[in-house]
Structure formats: C-alpha cells, structure tokens
Amino acid sequence: MVRAVSDARLLARALADPASIVGLDADGWTRLLTMARAEQLIGTLAMRLDGLPMPDAVNAILADARSAAEHGRRAALWEAEMARRALFAVDCPVILLKGTAFVAAGLSAGQGRSIGDLDILVPRASLDAVEAALLAAGWEWVKPDPYDDVYYRRWMHELPPLIHRDRDRMIDVHHTILPLTARITPNAAALIDEAWALGNGLSVLSPENMVVHAAAHLLADGDLAGGLRNLWDIDRLCRQFSDEDPDFYLTVMEAGHRHGLWNEVGRALRLANQIFGTPVKAYHSPITVKWDERPKDRWFRRRITARDGWGRPTRPITGLAFYVRSHWLRMPPAMLARHLWTKWRKA
C-alpha cells in the first residue's frame, strides 16, 4: 500500500517516479487527479503515466488529458507562428519563452505541458515597433485602465497583455525577465544575444538561460502560486540538458551569477532536487557549488506542495507570507505603499 500523503507530494512523487502509483486505491487516484488538475499538471501526469497499469476510469481521464495537451501544443505553436508572421517586418529577434518555447524546441519539459498565453522576449529598443506591428495584426489591449497601463509601461518587464480579437489568445511581450522595480536586474541583452535560433525565424533562450528564467519566475517574481509546475519545468530542463552537457550545472550556476540570480537558481535547483530528485552535481572548482539543504528550503517546500486532495490550496498563513514576500521583492516599500493605495482606492 502507498502511504497516505495529504499534500501535493503525492503528485510530485507520481511525476518523478511513475511506478509509485502502483497500489493507489480509488480515493488515492481521485486525489491525485484532482491535485494534478489544480496544479495544471494533468497533461504532464498523463504523459508520464502512459502505459502503466491503472483502472479503466483513470486511463480514460488521462487519455482525455493527453489529447487536450496535444491540442494545446498545436494551438500554442500556431499562435507562435501568428506572432512570427506579424513581426516578420520588424527587424528584431523574437524569443519564445516558457511552455511555447519548450514545445517549439521539442524539449521533454513540453510533454503534456499546459500552455496558456504566448510569452515572447524582444529587445527593449524594438518594443514600440513590436507593439505597433501586433496592433496592426489584430491584437488588442486587455486592460483599459490608464493607471495599469502606465504602471506596466514604466515599471514592468512586459507590455500590458494583448489579446487577439479573432483567436482570443493572449500575448505577453517581455523585454526582460523580471520587473524593472525588482532588486535584481538580469542582463536582458545577454539573454537575447545568447538565444538559440530555431531556424524558422523564432528563437528560444539558451539552455542555461531557460533554467535561469524559470528560477527567476519561480523565486524572484510572484508568490509561488503554481510553483510545482514551474519546478517541474526546471527538473525536466536540467535532466535533459545535463544529459547533453555533463557540466550543465556548472554552466547554469555561472549564468545565474551573471544575471544576479545565483541564490535563486541555487535554491530552485535544491528544491527540484528535494521534491523531484533532480540529479544535481556538486563542484569545488572553478567555483564551489553545494546542494546541501538550507533551513529556509523547508518553507518553500511547504508553499509549493500546499494543495489537498480536493484541489484546494492549503496553508493560508504560509501563502500569505509568500504573498507579502512577492510584493516586497517586486518593489521598494514607498512605491509598494503608493501602488497599494492607488489599487485600494480604485477597488
């Protein structure tokens, strides 16, 4: 029998070690599937468990999830192609980010992954031209609020979200990977210079920068909602890239250092190792990289696995602490006060 686990470690274990599902009873399956849906990992789980023995009802649910993921993959690639065509005349690199990049590059991190918006990275100098080209090709503003609009343009790492009027799909146009107000300023020009061309006019971040971006997204921006999926991305990317480059963990830590994200990349990889068993490798030269657990890792794990078998978020106090942390990371205190005051008056 499988020992009852009451949080999302049940899901993490099924993803990392699919054979662990052997012995799940009907309640266990129900909890697992519900958690996976809530964490937007049902398609990923379905790909991981494909072919294993399981009840027919579960098999049918996971088959649905696989076909939904396949449809989502096709739609995401089509959306990327639409953006490529719209931006063809703008003379700048267009770099796919996150899920769309994973499926466009054929990475294992893309297998079954749910993909929502299209995220792209372009040079900041080209932002106006990109915006104009997208508007001309049928994308429209989502947020009509003037405060939000100015806020995005002055302080964020992306344009206000645009939605396509016919296809009803959102695009997030980034010019760097963290808000401009954040304490850390990654080197956006280097991310763009080092990008890998896919050969169809679109690019993806280099392997180490993909992991740096995922770590920044997980730990330096936001309250870790949906963190399990981000961490799974990191696990898949690292496993694949370290197979291809034995010193990938060295490369990725050096990249983290260059972007001011040494601590975040280190913590993300430690958490991936602790939760998914990602095979990290220690170094003593040319730099020292150690993977021993740090005291605070436990709090991040508590946050990332805060989900019950009904799909509900749990541990509200931990969640609140990470919510406060996210704003603290995102902007200086005086600015935060001004921002919350404006938002509160409008609410």
* Residues that bind another protein in the complex, under the rule CB under 8 A: 25-27, 29-30, 33-34, 37-38, 55-58, 60-61, 64-65, 67-68, 71, 74-75, 310-312
Q: How far is the CB of 36 from another protein (least distance, A)?
A: 10
Which tokens sit at 159? 């344009």
**Nearer CB in complex with another protein: 37/315:** 37
**Nearer CB in complex with another protein: 167/343:** 167
Which tokens sit at 107? 């990475």
Sorted by sequence, the CB contacts under 8 Å of residue 68 that are 6+ apart come out as 43
**Nearer CB in complex with another protein: 74/183:** 74
**CB-CB contact of 20 with 14 (8 Å):** yes
Distance of alpha carbon 280 from alpha carbon 260, whole angstroms: 21
Residue for token digits 């963190």?
A: 227
Q: How far is the CB of 77 from another protein (least distance, A)?
A: 13
Q: How far is the CB of 128 from another protein (least distance, A)?
A: 32
Residue for token digits 């769309």?
A: 100
The phi, psi pair for 305, rounded to 5°, reads -100, 15
Q: How far is the CB of 64 from another protein (least distance, A)?
A: 4
**Nearer CB in complex with another protein: 5/129:** 5
As a whole number of Å, the end-to-end CA separation of the chain is 50
**Nearer CB in complex with another protein: 56/244:** 56
Q: How far is the CB of 154 from another protein (least distance, A)?
A: 27
What ranges make up the beta strands (E) of 170-269?
Answer: 170-174, 196-197, 203-204
**Nearer CB in complex with another protein: 13/66:** 66
**Nearer CB in complex with another protein: 228/234:** 228
Distance of alpha carbon 89 from alpha carbon 283, whole angstroms: 46
Q: How far is the CB of 67 from another protein (least distance, A)?
A: 6
- From the list 344, 289, 291, the residue with the least C-alpha distance to 147 is 344
**CB-CB contact of 21 with 49 (8 Å):** yes
- From the list 160, 163, 158, the residue with the least C-alpha distance to 79 is 163
The phi, psi pair for 314, rounded to 5°, reads -120, -175
Task: For residue 96, list its beta bridge partners.
Answer: 120, 204
Q: How far is the CB of 334 from another protein (least distance, A)?
A: 31
